[in-house]
Amino acid sequence: MAVSGRRHVQMLTARRRLQRLSVQERAVLRDLIARRSVREIATARVVSDSTVRSQVKAVLAKLEVSSQLSAVALAHTAGRSARTHAA
């Protein structure tokens, strides 16, 4: 039961952090989840690589993580738990 409780807390924490993101930052996170590069994201959004890098930094700061991989993992934690609780 303790493991289940811990997972629930992790899911809630992940969801709260994701709610901090702006619409643009959520879009960037979706692109990171899809394994797109900074250049690919910039080209698709018709912005500079520097703009995308700034958005990625903002995502990492708001999610309180230090890497893109950690941001993707946090998003998966929130999503996986949401699907589990919806069933």
Q: How is the chain split into domains, by residue range?
A: 2-86
Using one digit for the tens of pLDDT, what is the confidence trace for 56-74? 999 999 999 999 999 999 9
- pTM > 0.75: yes or no: yes
Structure tokens at 50: 């520097």
From the list 82, 86, 70, the residue with the least C-alpha distance to 8 is: 82
Average pLDDT over residues 45-63: 96
pLDDT at residue number 77: 86
Residue 46 identity: V
Structure tokens at 25: 């930052």
Using one digit for the tens of pLDDT, what is the confidence trace for 14-40? 888 999 999 999 999 999 999 999 999
Say whether pLDDT at 84 is over 50.
no
Distance CA(16)–CA(7), nearest Å, equals 14
pLDDT at residue number 2: 46
Structure tokens at 55: 């958005």
Instruction: Look up the CATH number of domain 2-86.
Output: 3.40.50.2300
Distance CA(12)–CA(73), nearest Å, equals 14
- Integer angstrom CA distances of residue 6 from 32, 71, 75: 26, 19, 17
